[in-house]
Structure 1
């Protein structure tokens, strides 16, 4: 014959016992629990009635634990310690790391974060993208950021990922189309996609390639390099791509690079976090992993 399951004591009463056993004083326990002394006394009496044995000796000089109370106390301590540990561990697992990155880095960063989540589903990451290249940890609540800059700046711990090196990119259809793309001078006969109105990046690349361009007329202007690359991948023209960011698209054949020359701009990508605080171990693990990905993938 199955025995009915014994009803467990109520958790609030067990917590009241734990606090009272720590100080052996109803008045002090009431202060710590923010309830009345009478409520403490009633909860302890109810718990003793439930258990069937006394937990405290009520003496003129105060409270003392009975033999059963002394045996019960460390076990209840352990129970509440396990509850605290469970709350902390589950809460830590559910809290996503907050990461910020510029949209121009998405081609490289997003596939790797998806790979990270497959490897470590217990360490979720929430990514915020922006056209801004930097981060201000004094005003922005991020755990870390991937930034683009000449130098990482002050007040941060930085890990260098890769330098920006630009090279023309287009679709294979454009490369094999009716207009030749054999020399840098041929580029001026194509639609050039500019990531800024000043056309500075294209002029620098052409000069580095040994071609001194006249005023670059025509073409299309965009607010970011990322938008220019998106249009180039549709076969609309030729954009400058950052060699370190477009490896996946080159590997898949979405884009091709007609020339071997990659011109450094002086800018670079960094992983940064606030200098003022030690990073969470899970954040450090993610940043270390991204850094290794950047250096494994690095193409000379």
Structure 2
């Protein structure tokens, strides 16, 4: 059983080109306590998956990862669950064998001890021995994700990394999978990092959320608090754009297009608030300076003119 949490300071992901390398994520500080579920939230392109893959030590080719000394790599301590489990299952293997292979190759478990461990892992994710004898094509989406979680647990991870693991599932199955992850984390005293677009759907499952925009964290706090009292303008848009929250019959609000040209994005990212070009409440200060963190230990945000607060 794992008892230590995960802490990564000054995490940065950037291109490896010698001339004009581009910073894609960071600098970012993350701390995940034992038994805690941390969710990374934001629209496509916000840096959620890059951050998760950096933590897991599997960045896309051509990208480099740096962090404070001693914080990386985490690859030996991470169990990864991908968005589409069918894409990395061996279609010719029954699920029992797929899990057994991880125990044999990664953990070097003696042959005579593998079968009981596989059965225990299947049971921990709510699958029977008979269901473990199914091929991937015989499984539903929910069963496949449970199997993927079992494979991730087979490496005995300190932190479980789930990349949009529920995005292809119906709402009921999504809730069951998130509940399963939360239950496993509590039982094993294991941390988890979950990537999602769905902030409201994380309430009741995630302990904390980090809202990301263009590779930076802009708001952080308990899921219920961030949903109910979002302060950064970007988070406020994400919440109000959700169909389950918006008033029935009305038009969903839209996040304004970016006022900056594509070639100006990098310099703006380095100089001021990355959301300034799309924020209806932005002022000159937002264009020139990166907002510092405000708030307390349970809820903090980076905005000079926060939503539901002072406006310029």
Larger Rg belongs to: 1
- Structure with greater helix percent: 1
* Coarse TM-score class (shorter-chain normalised): under 0.3
TM-score, reference length from structure 1: 0.22
Query: TM-score normalised to the size of structure 2?
Result: 0.22
